[in-house]
Amino acid sequence: MVRSTVKNSARKTSASPTRRTFLQQVAAGGLAVGPGAALLASCATGGDDDDDETDSGDGGSQADVTEDNPLGIAEDQPVEIYIFDGGFGDEYATQVHQPIFSEKWPDVEINHNAAVDIGSELQARFVAGDPPDFVNNSGDGSMDTAQLASDGQLYDLTELFDAPSWDDPAVTVRDTLIPGTIESGTRDGVPYVLNYAFTVFGLWYNKTLMDENGWPVPTTWQEMMDVCADIKASGIAPWVYQGVTAPRYMNWPLLTMATKLAGPEILVPLDNLEEGAWGHEAIRESAAALRSLKENDYFLPGVEGMEFRDAQGLWARGDAVFCPSGSWIENEEADAIAEDPTFELAMMPEPLLSEDAVMPLETIRATAGEPYLIPADAANPRAAMEYMRAMLSVEGARGFTETVTSLTSVAAANEGVEFEAPGLSSAQQALTAAGDNVINWLYPSWYPTLENPGIDQATGALLRADITVDEWVEQCEAATAEIRNDDSISKQTREA
CATH code for the domain in which residue 157 is found = 3.40.190.10
> Is 489 a member of any domain?
no
Residue 128, number of CB atoms within 10 A of its CB: 14
Verify that 111 and 22 share a domain, yes or no.
yes
Contact 448, 144 (CB under 8 A): yes
C-alpha 274/C-alpha 131 separation (Å) is 37
Q: Kindly report the pTM of this predicted structure.
A: 0.78
Asked if residues 260 and 361 have their Cβ atoms less than 8 Å apart, the reply is yes
Same-domain pairing of 359 and 472: yes
Backbone angles phi, psi at 54, to 5 degrees: -70, 130
Quote the pLDDT of residue 414: 87
Split into its structural domains, the chain has a count of 2
Q: Backbone phi, then psi, for 346, in 5-degree steps?
A: -145, 160
Query: Which H/E stretch holds residue 365?
Result: strand 364-373
How many residues can be counted in the chain?
496
Q: Which structural domain, as residue segments, surrounds residue 340?
A: 200-367+430-484
3-class SS of residue 417: coil
The three-state secondary structure class of 475 is: helix
Instruction: Name the amino acid, one letter, at 329.
Output: I
> Are 353 and 230 in a shared domain?
yes
Is residue 6 a part of any domain in this protein?
A: no
d(CA 100, CA 2): 9
* Domain stops at, among 425, 456, 474: 425
Tell me, yes or no, whether 257 and 378 share the same domain.
Answer: no
SS3 234: coil
Is 139 in the same domain as 248? no
**Domain check: are 180 and 108 in the same one?**
yes
**Of 395, 410, 396, 392, nearest to 71 (Cα)?**
392
Q: Using alpha carbons only, how large is the chain's radius of gyration in Å?
A: 23
Residue 492 in any domain: the answer is no
Instruction: Give me the sign of the Cα torsion angle 259, 263, 269, 272.
Output: positive
Q: Is residue 137 domain-shared with residue 95, that is, in the same domain?
A: yes
Q: Are 60 and 19 in contact (CB under 8 A)?
A: yes
Integer Cα distance of 23 and 39 in angstroms: 12
Last residue of a domain, one of 400, 425, 450: 425
Q: Give the residue among 86, 64, 115, 19 at the shortest CA–CA distance from 406.
A: 86
Decide if 2 is inside a domain: no
Give the pLDDT confidence score for residue 74 in this predicted structure: 96
Q: How far apart are CA 77 and CA 60, in angstroms?
A: 9
pLDDT at 59: 53
Q: Are strands 407-408 and 193-206 parallel, antiparallel or unpaired?
A: antiparallel
Question: Is 235 within the bounds of a domain?
Answer: yes
In this structure, are residues 324 and 463 in contact, taking their beta carbons and an 8 Å threshold?
Answer: no
Cα gap 296→380, rounded to integer Å: 57
In a domain, 28, yes or no: yes
In a domain, 149, yes or no: yes
- pLDDT by residue, tens only, the chain of 496 residues: 333 333 333 333 333 222 223 222 222 233 333 333 322 322 222 333 344 433 334 556 789 999 999 999 999 999 999 999 988 899 999 999 999 999 999 999 999 999 999 999 998 999 899 999 999 999 888 998 888 998 999 999 999 999 999 999 999 999 999 988 999 999 989 999 999 999 999 999 999 999 999 999 999 999 999 999 999 999 999 999 999 999 999 999 999 999 999 999 999 999 999 999 999 999 999 999 999 999 999 999 999 999 999 999 999 999 999 999 999 899 889 999 999 999 999 999 999 999 999 999 999 999 998 999 999 999 999 999 999 999 999 999 999 999 988 899 999 998 877 888 999 999 999 998 998 899 999 999 889 899 999 999 999 999 999 999 999 999 999 999 999 999 999 899 998 7
Cβ atoms of 309 and 325 within 8 Å: the answer is no
* Rounded Cα–Cα distance for residues 154 and 40 (Å): 12
* Backbone phi and psi for residue 246, each to the nearest 5 degrees, phi listed first: -150, 65
CA distance 392 to 387: 9
The pLDDT value recorded for residue 60 is 65
The helix/strand/coil state of 352 is strand
Task: Tell whether 469 and 421 lie within a shared domain.
Answer: no
Residue 416 and residue 461 in one domain? no
Amino acid at 445: S
Identity (one letter) of the amino acid at 42?
S
**Does 287 map to a domain?**
yes
Cα 274 to its chain centre, rounded Å, is: 24
Spatial separation of the C-alpha atoms in residues 47 and 21, rounded to whole Å: 11
The distance from CA 401 to its chain's CA centroid, rounded to whole angstroms, is 15
Residue 288 β-bridge partners:
none
**Other CB atoms closer than 10 Å to residue 24's CB: what's the count?**
9
Same domain flag for 436 and 473:
yes
pLDDT at site 150: 87
Same-domain pairing of 68 and 179: yes
Do 39 and 119 belong together in one domain?
A: yes
Query: Where would I find the H helices in 128-177?
Result: 145-150, 158-162
End residue of a domain, out of 425, 451, 473: 425
What distances in angstroms separate CA 144 from CA 147, 164, 254, one per listed residue? 5, 30, 25
Residue 387: enclosing H or E segment and its boundaries? helix 381-391
